[in-house]
């Protein structure tokens, strides 16, 4: 069952990313990064109900453990789930503070400067280093600050520091990892609160306001096509007497031809939308939206 759930999550992430990414500006590495990071986040969220299911599966309705779920078996299951939490949370930190920033800054640098790959990697690593420092600070704060150190009058400063490292070793870095993940969770919670509040207020207004009809968009798209075709004719008229076009005109000609192909694809897409049953259905329920 659980491998099937993970496969469904991966398929969903692939479809979701491929649907909303730009076809013209997409990169293989950035696509893989987005799919992998989203899948890890969803799998981590799915691990909580799996943990609850395993605990409830080992117990009877009266709360006692089943016969087969002895101390060793339950301990093995708990350790497996705990290691799953450790692994997934560590991968999340790796993605948030290293992989995703590096890929982002690498392709940002690639767009701004068409230099060699080595300089792009160096620049991306330089900016990513700041995220690594933030991660290190969070891990150190989570590892040492929240601990309740016994206040002994005769203890020296070295004994207090030694106790910190002993506590850190006994917890296997759980507090550091938990604090880092909790910090990310707080940021995500604030973002969710903000966007949820905006969405709940904007949804009824958007339903009342409605959207631009496909026929109106087709009319605007047709006007853009005519304008681009006129620009193309003006540029091509310069070489009717056999004179070659300048490099600037050739670049403009290529850009206009690419824009014309894009507009024609959009025209076909709008035409299919205008004739679809979903558009007719939305027009029929327009009074209900208002």
Q: Tell me if 265 is assigned to some domain.
A: yes
In the chain, the number of structural domains is: 1
Tell me the two tokens of residue 173: 């870095």
| Cα–Cα distance measured from residue 275 to residue 16, given in angstroms and rounded to the nearest whole number | 25
The answer, as to whether pTM is greater than 0.85, is no
Q: Tell me if 274 is assigned to some domain.
A: yes
Residue 192: predicted pLDDT: 93
Tell me the two tokens of residue 101: 């920033």
Q: What is the pLDDT along the chain (290 residues), one digit of tens a residue?
A: 567 778 899 999 999 998 888 777 778 888 999 999 999 999 998 888 888 877 777 777 776 767 666 667 677 777 788 888 888 999 999 999 999 999 998 888 776 655 677 888 888 899 999 999 998 888 888 776 655 555 555 556 656 556 655 655 555 567 788 888 889 889 999 999 999 999 999 988 888 887 778 888 888 889 999 998 888 888 888 777 667 777 787 888 888 888 888 899 888 888 888 888 888 888 888 888 88
The DSSP secondary-structure symbol of 237 reads G
Listed residue (84, 48, 91) closest to 180, CA to CA: 91
Q: Tell me if 72 is assigned to some domain.
A: no
| Start-to-end CA span in the chain (Å) | 44
Query: What share of residues in the chain are helix, strand, coil (percent, to 5)?
Result: 80, 0, 20
Q: Tell me if 23 is assigned to some domain.
A: no
Question: How far is Cα of residue 148 from the mean position of the Cα atoms in its chain?
Answer: 37
Q: Tell me if 51 is assigned to some domain.
A: no
Q: Tell me if 259 is assigned to some domain.
A: yes
DSSP letters along 182-222, please? HHHHHHHHHHHHHHHHHHHHHHHHHHHH----HHHHHHHHH
- Residue 150 neighbours by CB under 8 Å, 6+ apart: 163
Q: Which residues are registered as beta bridge partners of 65?
A: 59
| Cα–Cα distance measured from residue 174 to residue 86, given in angstroms and rounded to the nearest whole number | 8
Question: How far is Cα of residue 191 from the mean position of the Cα atoms in its chain?
Answer: 14
| Cα–Cα distance measured from residue 232 to residue 19, given in angstroms and rounded to the nearest whole number | 32
Q: Tell me if 111 is assigned to some domain.
A: no
Domain extent for 232: 214-288
For 129, phi then psi, to 5°, come to: -60, -35
Residue 32: predicted pLDDT: 92
- Residue 67 in 3-state DSSP? coil
Q: Tell me if 243 is assigned to some domain.
A: yes
């Amino acid at each position: 069952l659980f491998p099937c759930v993970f496969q469904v999550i991966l398929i969903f992430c692939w479809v979701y990313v491929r649907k909303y990414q730009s076809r013209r500006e997409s990169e293989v590495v950035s696509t893989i990064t987005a799919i992998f990071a989203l899948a890890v986040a969803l799998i981590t969220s799915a691990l909580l109900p799996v943990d609850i299911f395993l605990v409830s599966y080992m117990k009877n309705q009266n709360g006692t453990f089943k016969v087969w779920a002895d101390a060793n078996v339950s301990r093995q299951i708990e350790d497996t789930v705990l290691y799953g939490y450790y692994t997934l949370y560590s991968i999340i930190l790796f993605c948030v503070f290293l992989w995703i920033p590096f890929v982002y800054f690498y392709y940002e640098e690639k767009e701004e400067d068409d230099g060699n790959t080595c300089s792009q990697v160096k620049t991306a690593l330089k900016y990513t280093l700041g995220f690594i420092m933030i991660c290190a600070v969070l891990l150190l704060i989570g590892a040492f600050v929240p601990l309740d150190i016994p206040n002994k009058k005769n203890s020296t400063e070295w004994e207090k520091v030694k106790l910190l490292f002993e506590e850190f070793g006994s917890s296997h870095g759980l507090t550091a990892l938990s604090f880092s993940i909790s910090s990310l969770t707080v940021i995500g919670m604030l973002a969710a609160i903000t966007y949820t509040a905006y969405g709940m207020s904007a949804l009824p207004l958007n339903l009342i306001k409605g959207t631009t009809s496909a026929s109106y968009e087709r009319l605007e798209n047709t006007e853009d096509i005519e304008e681009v075709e006129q620009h193309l004719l003006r540029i091509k008229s310069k070489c009717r007497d056999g004179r070659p076009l300048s490099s600037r005109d050739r670049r403009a000609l290529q850009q206009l031809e690419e824009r014309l192909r894009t507009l024609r694809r959009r025209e076909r897409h709008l035409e299919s939308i205008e004739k679809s049953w979903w558009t007719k259905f939305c027009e029929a329920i327009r009074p209900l939206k208002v």
